[in-house]
């Protein structure tokens, strides 16, 4: 066991993959000598050289497009998109090309590209640096989308993403980069399957589903609810596509109430998808409508008011109260 931050855990996970697989390589803006704007790739260029850790030209479509070509030649590229709001220039390559090549080649070609994206708000940053665009990608068949919430998962999930033969978008909760946790570098344990949800706290009165940066918030809300005598179960989704509806369904059948929290706007978001599916699967077990806690239908607001925008403990507790009132 080792204690490390999420950023360090991803760094160690990348190091492990680069060591294991000589055809894996990293590419992105400023990821070499600087080590990335969040230092997630710190030191890797020294260890593996600039053929394996590429400081690319400043062009996101170029990064993803050339990564696709490298994958077609048998490589496993891991791209870093510097910030969530800068992924859009690569949106075409991701959705029309990367997601479809396996399908349109009738399975003859695989493109095991990983795209790392630091995402989410809460760091007081400027425009385009705090967004949560996961639903845009979840809507696209052919992509897998995962997001760790703790260091152990971060260490293992990035390696599993690189091993996966499908393209994976790896959303990194940037405001939790410095969150420390225990990492077992010998055994993946429950992290073995990156596409399964984890029940991270058991409870009987209601279920909160969250992922990435909001998992600690959901746990804190559950703790607060306990003071009022409410036993709340918390699920860390970990994977957004595929989405482990079985785990959510089992929990809801036990608790009868479901709150889904994410930073992304609720309209057209993952919470709505979960509400619909759980409605289909567990309608008669629900004591209340599924309630979503998320961003408003607005561009991510300026940093000085982001607290009003972001889901926090109070907003989740308010949703819990509404659910329990039915």
Partner 1 sequence: MGSTQLPPGTEETLAATTAAAAAPGEPVEMVQLLGPDGKLGTDPVFSDYAKRIDPEKLRVFYTDMARIRRFDQEATALQRQGELALWVPLTGQEAAQIGSGHASQSQDYIFPTYREHGVALVRNVDLAELLKQFRGVSNGGWDPRENNFHLYTLVLAAQTLHAVGYAMGIQRDQKLAATQDSTDSKAAVIAYFGDGASSEGDVHESMVFAASYNAPVVFFCQNNHWAISVPTEVQTKVPLANRAKGYGFPGIRVDGNDVIAVHAVTEWALEHAREGRGPVLIEAYTYRVGAHTTADDPTKYRESAEEAAWREKDPLERLEKYLRAEGLADEAFFDQVDADGDELAKYVRSTTHGLEVPDIREAFANVYAEQHPLIAEELAWFEEYSAGFESDEETAN
**Residue numbers annotated as active site:** 129
Three-point CA angle 297, 124, 235, nearest 5°: 60
Which pairs from 215-224 meet CB under 8 Å and 24+ separation?
Answer: 215/149, 215/150, 216/149, 216/176, 216/179, 217/261, 217/311, 217/312, 217/313, 217/316, 218/261, 218/316, 220/313, 221/313, 221/316, 221/317, 221/320, 224/313, 224/317
Site for partner 1 in 67-86 (CB under 8 A): 67-75, 77
Neighbours of 300 (CB within 10 A): 24
Closer to partner 1 by Cβ: residue 77 or 294: 77
Site string for partner 1, 240-279 (x = CB under 8 A): -xxxxxx---------------------------------
Could you tell me the smallest distance in angstroms from the CB atom of residue 317 to partner 1? 32
Could you tell me the smallest distance in angstroms from the CB atom of residue 42 to partner 1? 23
Closer to partner 1 by Cβ: residue 27 or 154: 27
Closer to partner 1 by Cβ: residue 184 or 280: 280
Interacting stretch for partner 1, rule CB under 8 A, among 146-154, 200-208, 237-245, 287-295?
237-245
Tokens of 28: 């992105």
Which residue from 2, 16, 37, 61 is in contact with partner 1, where contact means CB under 8 A? 61
Q: How far apart are CA 110 and CA 124, in angstroms?
A: 39
Contact flag: residue 57 with partner 1 (CB under 8 A) = yes
* E strand residue ranges, the chain: 2-5, 24-28, 53-55, 76-80, 114-119, 144-146, 168-173, 180-183, 198-201, 206-210, 232-236, 239-241, 258-265, 291-295
Site for partner 1 in 197-216 (CB under 8 A): none
Closer to partner 1 by Cβ: residue 38 or 211: 211
Tokens of 136: 């845009």
Closer to partner 1 by Cβ: residue 111 or 290: 111
Report how far apart, in Å, the C-alpha atoms of 163 and of each of 140, 211, 325 are: 21, 22, 46
Site for partner 1 in 155-174 (CB under 8 A): 164-166
Closer to partner 1 by Cβ: residue 103 or 223: 103
Give SS3 for 87.
coil
* Residues 313/224, Cβ–Cβ less than 8 Å: yes
Find, among 222, 180, 205, 200, the residue nearest to 313 by Cα.
222
Q: How far apart are CA 248 and CA 102, in angstroms?
A: 29
Q: Is the peptide bond before 242 cis (omega within 30 degrees of 0)?
A: yes
* Residues 207/233, Cβ–Cβ less than 8 Å: yes
Could you tell me the smallest distance in angstroms from the CB atom of residue 73 to partner 1? 3
Contact flag: residue 141 with partner 1 (CB under 8 A) = yes
Closer to partner 1 by Cβ: residue 34 or 302: 34
Could you tell me the smallest distance in angstroms from the CB atom of residue 318 to partner 1? 32
Site size toward partner 1 (CB under 8 A) is: 51
Interacting stretch for partner 1, rule CB under 8 A, among 1-9, 60-68, 119-127, 200-208?
60-68
Could you tell me the smallest distance in angstroms from the CB atom of residue 264 to partner 1? 19
Contact flag: residue 19 with partner 1 (CB under 8 A) = no
Site string for partner 1, 88-117 (x = CB under 8 A): -x--xx--xx--xxxxxxxxxxx-x-----
Contacts with partner 1 by CB under 8 A lie at: 22, 25, 51, 56-57, 59, 61-62, 64-75, 77, 89, 92-93, 96-97, 100-110, 112, 141-142, 144, 164-166, 195, 241-246
């Amino acid at each position: 066991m080792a204690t490390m931050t999420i950023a360090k855990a991803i760094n160690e996970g990348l190091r492990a993959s680069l060591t294991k697989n000589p055809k894996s390589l990293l590419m992105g803006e400023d990821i070499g000598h600087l080590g990335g704007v969040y230092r997630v790739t710190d030191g890797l260029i020294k260890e593996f050289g600039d053929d394996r850790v590429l400081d690319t030209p400043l062009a996101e479509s170029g990064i993803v497009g050339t990564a696709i070509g490298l994958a077609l030649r048998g490589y496993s590229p891991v791209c870093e998109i510097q910030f969530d709001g800068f992924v859009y220039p690569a949106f075409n390559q991701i959705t029309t090309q990367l997601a479809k090549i396996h399908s349109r080649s009738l399975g003859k070609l695989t493109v095991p590209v990983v795209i790392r994206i630091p995402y989410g708000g809460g760091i007081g940053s400027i425009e385009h640096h705090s967004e949560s665009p996961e639903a845009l990608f979840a809507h696209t068949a052919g992509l897998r989308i995962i997001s760790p919430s703790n260091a152990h998962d971060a260490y293992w999930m990035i390696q599993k993403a690189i091993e996966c033969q499908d393209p994976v978008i790896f959303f990194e909760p940037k405001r939790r980069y410095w969150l420390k946790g225990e990492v077992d570098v010998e055994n993946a344990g429950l992290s073995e399957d990156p596409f399964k949800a984890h029940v991270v706290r058991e409870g009987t009165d209601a279920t909160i589903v969250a992922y990435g940066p909001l998992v600690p918030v959901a746990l804190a809300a559950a703790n607060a609810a306990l003071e009022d005598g409410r036993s709340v179960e918390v699920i860390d989704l970990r994977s957004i596509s595929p989405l482990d509806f079985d785990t959510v369904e089992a929990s809801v059948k036990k608790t009868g109430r479901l709150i889904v929290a994410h930073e992304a706007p609720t309209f057209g978001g993952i919470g709505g998808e979960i509400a619909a599916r759980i409605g289909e699967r567990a309608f008669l077990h629900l004591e209340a409508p599924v309630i979503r806690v998320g961003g408003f239908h607005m561009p991510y607001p300026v940093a000085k008011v982001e607290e009003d925008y972001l889901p926090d403990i109070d907003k989740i507790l308010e949703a819990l109260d509404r659910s329990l009132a039915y």
